Amino acid sequence: MEASKYVYLDNAATTPMDPRVIEEIDKHFKESYGNSSSLHSIGQKAAQTLVKSREIVASLINAKRDEIIFTSSGTEADNIAILGVALKNQNRGKNIITSAIEHHGVENPCKNLKKKGFSITFLPVDKYGLIDLRELEDMITDETTLISIMFANNEIGTIEPIKEIGAIAKKHDVLFHTDAVQAFGKIPIDVKAMNIDLLSASAHKLYGPKGVGMLYLRNKGVRESWGKFIEPIMYGGGHESDMRPSTVNVPGIAGFAKAVELAKNEMPKEIEIQTNFRDKIIRNVLKNIGDSYLNGHPTKRLPNNVNLGIRFIEGESIVLDLDSEGIATSTGSACSSKSLDPSHVLLAIGLKPHEAHGSLRVTVGRFTTEDDVNYFLEKLPPIINRLRKISPLTKL
Ligand SMILES: *Cc1c(COP(=O)(O)O)cnc(C)c1O
């Protein structure tokens, strides 16, 4: 291994910060250190940074400035959306519809509500990871207050039919939340055209800092026919329109806004470059490695996501061997890869547990080069050959 070479192909787990974001954050740590709630000028400077950042983040998804609530993560935004809507509207009904392939940030608050007497409908998905729109519509009852379906899946990259889901939610007067953490800044999103009521995003999947996220709340969480449709899940000072108390992380948010600005400018170019890398990896692996297949949809997928099934070996062994060659990839999602349970997403698309264990996720990003892709494609086959020779599964 060349000591200097490190090829990072795990951009769905987190991204390195863009140097321009680091510079922006550094500036704000030095210059906007005031509390944005303070009356004095250094506090007001921070408050202005916050206004500007809100404007930039909102503009990426065709939202208004005052519809953005900054949070400490994508997971926190998911929790506020799901628990906040469920609790506020329990008198209207206690059913929530979600999918079988959500990130734990959505899945686990839903499971928690179930323990508290709510009914949760987990929609199955097809072999590509897509929900069925007719089935979604059939599942809506008088008790349903919220549909929460992710924009794009973090493991297999499948992009759900968001606009169509939004139309169904609107037709049945049900709220629609989408966890857009993987899609935000990667592919176009328009909350108005797609009829999205709530949307979660996170800065660290977008070359921004870890520990900064946001929740979009349509019309500040007020629906004409329902009144206020969400309540806070934490109580403190009145920050973020009473939805997320805590002294606001202004430098982190300024970094998030910088990341959004960069994403907005570079999106068309990045989609093109990354789609090329993605398809080159898929083509090459399926051609050169026997008993391999693609997980997720061939075209309705994120530009940066490759998820491969490699038969007869454990994804974990491949990840460790690639790492020793200086290449970072993952198996399952980062959160579940430390547990021995197979990924719930791969099981939901119909893989057997042993197949799900043989998955390899390769996610390219802004800083991936053609050389990186070639290096990966050169190192992978000998690793697989070696592992298959020693694998007890080969004989199965
Ligand atoms: C990473 C991720 C999250 C969690 O975001 P954090 O900011 O890390 O809490 C939620 N949903 C999806 C789809 C993700 O990929």
CATH number where 321 lies: 3.90.1150.10
pLDDT for res 339: 63
> Cβ neighbours of residue 178 under 8 Å, at least 6 residues apart?
148, 149, 150, 151, 160, 162, 165, 196, 198, 199, 200
Residues 82 and 149 in one domain: yes
In this structure, how many other beta carbons lie within 10 angstroms of the beta carbon of residue 55? Answer: 14
Residues 129 and 181 in one domain: yes
Three-state SS letters, the chain: CCCCCCEECECCCCCCCCHHHHHHHHHHHHHCCCCCCCCCHHHHHHHHHHHHHHHHHHHCCCCCHHHEEEECCHHHHHHHHHHHHHHHCCCCCCEEEEECCCCHHHHHHHHHHHHCCCEEEEECCCCCCCCCHHHHHHHCCCCEEEEECCCECCCCCEECCHHHHHHHHHHCCCEEEEECCCCCCCCCCCCCCCCCCEEEEEHHHCCCCCCCEEEEEHHHHEECCCEECCCCCCCCCCCHHHCCCCCCCHHHHHHHHHHHHHHHHHHHHHHHHHHHHHHHHHHHHHHHCCCEEECCCCCCECCCEEEEEECCCCHHHHHHHHHHCCEECECCCCCCCCCCCCCHHHHHCCCCHHHHCCEEEEECCCCCCHHHHHHHHHHHHHHHHHHHHHCHHHHC
> 361 CB under 6 A from ligand 1?
no
**Parallel/antiparallel/unpaired status of strands 198-202 and 213-217:** antiparallel
Per the structure, the complete domain to which residue 347 belongs is given by 7-16+267-395
Q: How many domains does the chain have?
A: 2
Q: Flag whether 70 is in a domain.
A: yes
Q: Let me know the angle formed at the C-alpha of 138 by 134 and 141, rounded to the nearest 5 degrees.
A: 145
For CA atoms 368, 370, 375, 380, give the dihedral sign. positive
Q: Flag whether 24 is in a domain.
A: yes
Q: Which atom of ligand 1 is nearest to the CA of 151?
A: 13
**Parallel/antiparallel/unpaired status of strands 95-99 and 119-123:** parallel
**Alpha-carbon distance 159 to 168, whole Å?**
17
Would you call 110 a catalytic residue per the annotation? Answer: no
In this structure, how many other beta carbons lie within 10 angstroms of the beta carbon of residue 387? Answer: 19
In this structure, how many other beta carbons lie within 10 angstroms of the beta carbon of residue 40? Answer: 9
Chain-centroid distance, C-alpha 252:
19
How many residues can be counted in the chain?
396
Domain boundary among 242, 260, 278: 260
Domain boundary among 260, 286, 319: 260
> 103 CB under 6 A from ligand 1?
yes
Q: Flag whether 95 is in a domain.
A: yes
The Å distance, Cα 105 to ligand 1 centre, comes to 7
Residues 247 and 122 in one domain: yes
Q: Which candidate in 87, 289, 335, 377 is catalytic?
A: 335
Tokens 């991936």 sit at which residue? 368
Residues 353 and 205 in one domain: no
Task: Give the domain CATH number at 117.
Answer: 3.40.640.10
Predicted TM-score of the model (pTM): 0.96
Q: Flag whether 130 is in a domain.
A: yes
Q: Flag whether 358 is in a domain.
A: yes
**Alpha-carbon distance 233 to 176, whole Å?**
19
CB–CB of 124/102 below 8 Å? no
Residue of 99, 154, 155 to test ligand 1 pocket, by largest number of atoms within 8 Å of CB: 154
Residues 309 and 179 in one domain: no
> 182 CB under 6 A from ligand 1?
yes
Residues 362 and 251 in one domain: no
Tokens 């919220």 sit at which residue? 146
pLDDT tens string, the chain, 396 residues long: the values are 455 679 999 999 999 999 999 999 999 999 888 999 999 999 999 999 999 999 999 999 999 999 999 999 999 999 999 999 999 999 999 999 999 999 999 999 999 999 999 999 999 999 999 999 999 999 999 999 999 999 999 999 999 999 999 999 999 999 999 999 999 999 999 999 999 999 999 999 999 999 999 999 999 999 988 999 999 999 999 899 999 999 999 999 999 999 999 999 999 999 999 999 999 999 999 999 999 999 999 999 999 999 999 999 999 999 999 999 999 999 964 445 556 688 999 999 999 988 999 999 999 999 999 999 999 999 999 999 999 999 876 655
Buried b (16+ CB within 10 A) or exposed e, 203-226: bbbbbbbeebbbbbbbeebeeeee
pLDDT for res 1: 47
Domain boundary among 217, 243, 260: 260
Q: Flag whether 168 is in a domain.
A: yes
> Cβ neighbours of residue 10 under 8 Å, at least 6 residues apart?
328, 329, 330, 334, 361, 363
Q: Which atom of ligand 1 is nearest to the CA of 77?
A: 9
Q: Which atom of ligand 1 is nearest to the CA of 76?
A: 9
Residues 183 and 50 in one domain: yes
Residues 251 and 271 in one domain: no
Closest residue by CA, ligand 1 atom 3:
74
Q: Flag whether 386 is in a domain.
A: yes
Residue of 155, 198, 205, 335 to test ligand 1 pocket, by largest number of atoms within 8 Å of CB: 205
Residues 131 and 146 in one domain: yes
> 181 CB under 6 A from ligand 1?
yes
> 154 CB under 6 A from ligand 1?
yes
Residues 24 and 172 in one domain: yes
Residues 303 and 335 in one domain: yes
Q: Which atom of ligand 1 is nearest to the CA of 210?
A: 7
Tokens 């993987």 sit at which residue? 182
Q: Which atom of ligand 1 is nearest to the CA of 105?
A: 10
Distances (CA, A) of 53 to 3, 6, 48: 39, 33, 9
Q: Flag whether 315 is in a domain.
A: yes
Residues 219 and 319 in one domain: no
> 343 CB under 6 A from ligand 1?
no
pLDDT for res 334: 47
pLDDT for res 395: 52
pLDDT for res 337: 52
CB–CB of 257/53 below 8 Å? yes
**Closest by Cα among 359, 337, 362, 360 to 350:** 359
Residue type, 152: A
